[in-house]
Amino acid sequence: MVIRAVVKRFYSNSFMRIVDIIQRKRDGHELTNKQIVTLLDSYLEGTVPDYQVSAFLMAVYFRGMTDAELKTFTDCMMRSGDLVEFHGVNKFLVDKHSTGGVGDKTTIALAPLLAAFDIGTAKLSGKGLGHTGGTIDKLEAIPGFTFPETRDELVKNVNETGIGIMGYSENIVPLDKRLYSLRDVTATVSSIPLIASSIMSKKLAVYADGIMLDVKVGAGAFMKNEEDARLLAKTMLGIGKSFDRKMVVHLTNMDQPLGLAVGNSLEVIEAIETLKGNGPEDFTQLILHLTGTALFLNGRAETIEAGTEMADRMISTEEPLEKMRMFIRSCGGDAGIVDDYSRIPVATNTLDVLSKESGYVSQIEAEEIGKAAMILGAGRPTKESVIDHSVGLVLNKKVGDKVKAGEKLATLYYTGDEHLQQASEKTVKAFSFSIEPVPASPVLLDTIQEL
């Protein structure tokens, strides 16, 4: 991992007032590269106050950004901290990013499947804040598992197993953290250009040969409707293309949780079961499609569809499972969990949540299911909260399934019953029913390769 110093920019042109930059954006005029760089560099240096940058963010919220502005804005964000490259890695590297969702254990199943095709995963991940844990939290549910802390350890893992994952550095895109804290309190979080630059600055700061973005759409996602999600996808794709990166963006459904398991250990088990060919249909479909996309990006497959067929033939063979064992072992974890789930902590107390009515499941509010898991201890209400890796829930019904009153909707796994009733009630309320049959929800909504 090479960290390149960020060179401070100097300009000899005439003095430029920050208020003039704000006014120009407010009035709908395109900003020059120099104006954007001056604003952001000055803010990072502490010579521009929060209130002026807040005004600028609000102007962007209403006026948007041109492609040229967005590239410069993203470039400034990207170069505000460390730029990371993985020298010494002898594989085609793919970075998969998801905008987040309930039951999203994608990386845990995807990375070993990619490794079976000699495609490397070298990515930085974070801990979760909210409904459920992030990739770091899920993998830390494995006894003895610790993430690499140095460049040499990460590169060694990737070269030997095909998989390298470690925690994010605080020095990567620090400007994004400062800007997001302002967006959060100025009602500008939902600006498409600001979302796109935030995500892409982090993706571009950490090098990958190919980037796959998974934009979640629906009630349980940040993007609530497909129109906005499609605009975000194309905006991020445009940024990636402007930096000459190979990219594909997928729109995926989050009107219900992904797969069946929600909770850290439970999701690790479901990811392994998927590699054995026993995963839920929606999750398996997503994993195969993403693998097909990676094979397309590195030239092994002529189309994503052809790559998906290759992935379908590979899954449930021994090779992805062996890659998973090797990865866990390389991080000091108990690789025996791949074959014996009693070796990973899962709460022994369970409660079946029963349906109060009959009909067809028409919707499962993913966000409410996520909140139920968090109440049980699977997520973090605050940064200081401690996750219980053993708790969570497993759905027994999905959208389109027929249900009778008294039939099991889900099973809660818990260690303490203090908030059990609240979690149970949230789970029941997350389900909506229809008298008429309801078609199953597709997990893949669209794949976007071109602007």
Active-site residue set: 97, 176, 183, 198, 202
CA dist., res. 100 & res. 397, Å (int):
22
Query: Are 357 and 429 within 8 A, CB to CB?
Result: no
- Residue whose entry in the numeric block shows the structure tokens 């000459």: 244
Query: Over the range 114-127, which residues count as b (16 or more CB within 10 Å of their CB) and which as e?
Result: bbbbebbbbbbbeb
In sign, the C-alpha dihedral spanning 426, 428, 431, 432 is negative
* Three-state SS at 154: helix
H/E stretch holding 275 reads helix 264-275
Going by C-alpha positions, the residue among 191, 251, 226 that lies closest to residue 449 is 251
Query: Are 82 and 151 within 8 A, CB to CB?
Result: no
Give the chain's radius of gyration (CA, Å).
Answer: 23
| CA separation, residue 207 to residues 121, 133, 182 (Å) | 11, 25, 27
CA dist., res. 424 & res. 427, Å (int):
5
Query: Are 126 and 97 within 8 A, CB to CB?
Result: no
* Three-state SS at 367: helix
* Three-state SS at 360: strand
* Three-state SS at 245: coil
Q: Where are the alpha helices (DSSP H) in 223-280?
A: 226-242, 264-275
Tell me how far apart the terminal alpha carbons of the chain are, to the nearest angstrom: 32
Query: Are 414 and 378 within 8 A, CB to CB?
Result: no
Query: Are 133 and 160 within 8 A, CB to CB?
Result: no
